């Protein structure tokens, strides 16, 4: 029987995402000046105020206020009427040294024996539904907001946009789990004040459908037919949305974990990513399981797969590796047998995950909005400045867990052509 499935996304200006981006900017700066930094940093944002809290073990000294203001400015909170503005907001730091009780379980004499930074389970997921092996509903929801942000920065076709926004996409699937129809699209975007609320709503709805949606449709050649005049649109359904961002709603690091991953498809271990250095398996192992899942699907082993790994704090070897191919496997093996072979291909000890995916680099700011998964792996040069004026430039590889560098190994291990 056909069914509906929904995923949502939030923009870089959403208060929770502002918090995520500040936390990850701090991670990048610590790693740029001391790659062995251990950091767990939470951020709270509200009207005119940023609060930083967390634990750090690092040789680096940072101007955390300046870093936070730089992130806020880049997002677009640069006007006093937003009631949260890069140059004038207060920034309070309550960051202190990491507990030695935790650190002793992570740092070991032999690097390869590095223990997991915490207990827990992490999940990775992939599907051949889209070119980037992500669920279609979430993929569209992300792209709606990425294009909305692009239109805001261009400031040509649409000139009233403010940074805060949310999107939601509902798809209909057939009995074969294939998307056949976009049932509904919800877009709520913060905007400048209008003289008339009725005119405002009409104008925003027209611009979203006639300017934004065609830009989204052009990115989906395979699914272009789904973008038709039968879609139910809910554009700013509550009406006026002038007050937004951290002034409209307090934001916290780690409150958008489903947006960060697979939009509700697959599963989630519950741990947030942003603000954590890669010794925290909540982050590194979630990236590693995505890397596994994507390479399995890309190799043709299955159409869809969920990968779980679990750890005990301070212990290097994972407690177990679980795989669910949802009955789509193309080999005559059980999911348990597939998991055994996969565990031989991918070393899931924390040190080897960090090494394989180059996670001790300042690569995290780019992950903190529009999803940590399904993004483009590329090499970029980044620049960081310390309080004493020292500038560090680094070439780093972003989204290494999205690389299809294990496809040939998977094909060989499973006898796939």
Per the annotation, binding residues are 14, 16, 42, 55, 98, 164-166, 240-241, 249, 255-256, 272, 276, 280
In three-state secondary structure terms, 90 is: strand
Question: For residue 60, how many other CB atoms are within 10 A of its CB?
Answer: 19
What are the counts of helices (DSSP H) followed by strands (DSSP E) for the chain? Answer: 12, 13
The answer to whether the beta carbons of residues 143 and 152 sit under 8 Å apart is: no
Distance of CA 163 to the CA centre of its chain: 18
Angstrom distance (rounded) from CA 11 to CA 9: 7
Burial of 163 per CB tally in 10 Å (0-12, 13-18, 19+): buried
Binding residues for ATP: 14, 164-166, 240-241, 249, 255-256, 272, 276
Which residues carry a binding-site annotation for K(+)?
A: 42
In the block, residue with structure tokens 């193309």: 330
What is the spatial distance between Cα 57 and Cα 40, in angstroms, rounded to a whole number? 9
Binding-site residue ranges for L-methionine: 55, 98, 249, 280
Contacts of 362 by beta carbon, 8 Å cutoff, 6+ apart:
27, 28, 29, 31, 32, 382, 384, 394, 396
Binding residues for Mg(2+): 16
> How many CA atoms are closer than 13 Å to the CA of 35, on its beta-carbon side?
10
**DSSP reduced 3-state for 73:** helix
Helix (H) or strand (E) holding 153: helix 136-154
CA-to-CA dists, residue 403 to 96, 274, 284, angstroms: 36, 21, 15
Burial grade of 206 (CB within 10 A; 0-12, 13-18, 19 or more):
exposed
Q: How far is CA 83 from the centre of its chain?
A: 26
Of the candidates 134, 131, 125, 132, the residue with the CA atom closest to the CA atom of residue 9: 134
Around Cβ 102, how many Cβ atoms within 10 Å? 19
């Amino acid at each position: 029987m056909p069914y509906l499935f929904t995923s949502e996304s939030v923009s870089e200006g959403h208060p929770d995402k502002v918090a995520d981006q500040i936390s990850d900017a701090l991670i990048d700066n610590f790693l740029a000046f001391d790659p062995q930094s251990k950091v767990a940093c939470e951020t709270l944002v509200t009207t005119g105020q940023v609060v930083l809290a967390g634990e750090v073990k690092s040789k680096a000294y940072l101007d955390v206020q300046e870093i936070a203001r730089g992130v806020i400015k880049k997002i677009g909170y640069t006007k006093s009427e937003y009631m949260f503005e890069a140059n004038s907001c207060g920034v309070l730091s309550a960051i202190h040294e990491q507990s030695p009780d935790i650190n002793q379980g992570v740092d070991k004499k032999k690097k390869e024996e590095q223990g997991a930074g915490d207990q827990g389970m992490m999940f990775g997921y992939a599907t051949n539904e889209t070119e980037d092996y992500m669920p279609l509903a979430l993929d569209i929801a992300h792209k709606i907001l990425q294009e909305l942000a692009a239109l805001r920065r261009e400031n040509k076709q649409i000139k009233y946009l403010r940074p805060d926004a949310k999107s939601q996409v509902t798809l209909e699937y057939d009995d074969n789990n294939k998307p056949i129809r976009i049932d509904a699209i919800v877009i709520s975007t913060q905007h400048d004040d209008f003289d008339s609320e009725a005119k405002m709503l009409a104008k925003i709805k027209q611009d979203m459908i006639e300017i934004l949606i065609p830009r989204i449709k052009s990115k989906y050649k395979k699914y272009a037919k789904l973008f038709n005049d039968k879609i139910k649109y809910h554009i700013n359904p509550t009406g006026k949305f002038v007050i937004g961002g951290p002034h409209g709603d307090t934001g916290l690091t780690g409150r958008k974990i489903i947006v960060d991953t697979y939009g509700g498809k697959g599963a989630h271990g519950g741990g947030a990513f942003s603000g954590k250095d890669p010794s925290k398996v909540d982050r590194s192992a979630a990236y590693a399981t995505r890397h596994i899942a994507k390479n399995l699907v890309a190799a043709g082993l299955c159409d869809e797969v969920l990968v779980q790994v679990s750890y005990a704090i301070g212990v290097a070897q994972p407690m177990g590796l679980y795989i669910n191919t949802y009955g789509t496997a193309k080999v005559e093996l059980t999911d348990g047998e597939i998991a055994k072979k996969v565990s031989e291909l991918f070393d899931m000890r924390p040190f080897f995950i960090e090494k394989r995916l180059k996670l001790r680099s300042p690569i995290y700011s780019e992950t903190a909005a529009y999803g940590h998964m399904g993004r483009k792996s590329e090499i970029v040069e980044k620049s960081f400045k310390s309080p004493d004026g020292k500038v560090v430039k680094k070439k780093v590889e972003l989204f290494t867990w999205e690389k299809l560098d294990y496809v040939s190994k998977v094909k060989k291990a499973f006898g796939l052509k």
